[in-house]
Structure 1
């Protein structure tokens, strides 16, 4: 009898753990995609402003466009780094810390 309950508890923990990990992962993906879209919109807006500017010389426009492009690439790498850190953090919590998952479960049940 106790063995059956123990097996069910493990299944429930796994299901809860899987759902928590999935929710964390989905939130991480959503925030990273939002950051990427915001960065892309900023880049496009700045590019349009620089191109439509009448008080800048051609060289100033080219320099500004280069700086804007460098900022965009920096933000892409930054978003990729955030994504990597969050992915490994979620994976670390899922694999290495069953005690942490038990504490999270206690938070949800109380």
Structure 2
């Protein structure tokens, strides 16, 4: 029982790495920018979509079907590690603010 509690505590206290990411249609130049508290999850979703042919994001569905997955790239714009003692909500707020900073540098006409 103690081992189980130790594993649960270890899981809760793990360092979280979030990111701001950019998915770009290399054919049209259109993009989707987003953020996530789990960097590995976003990378895995994109790779799964490439392997299966299923669009990573609903807004990409039509172009993904027409152009196929090879026409899209996934790029991590910035990684952010959750600070010790920082709440999940505060961490998400930081990621959202970081996304807004990157969004301001991109052409809004090219966003999906």
Work out which of the two has the higher radius of gyration on C-alpha atoms and give 1 or 2.
1
TM over 0.5: no
Question: If the length of structure 1 is used for normalisation, what is the TM-score?
Answer: 0.29
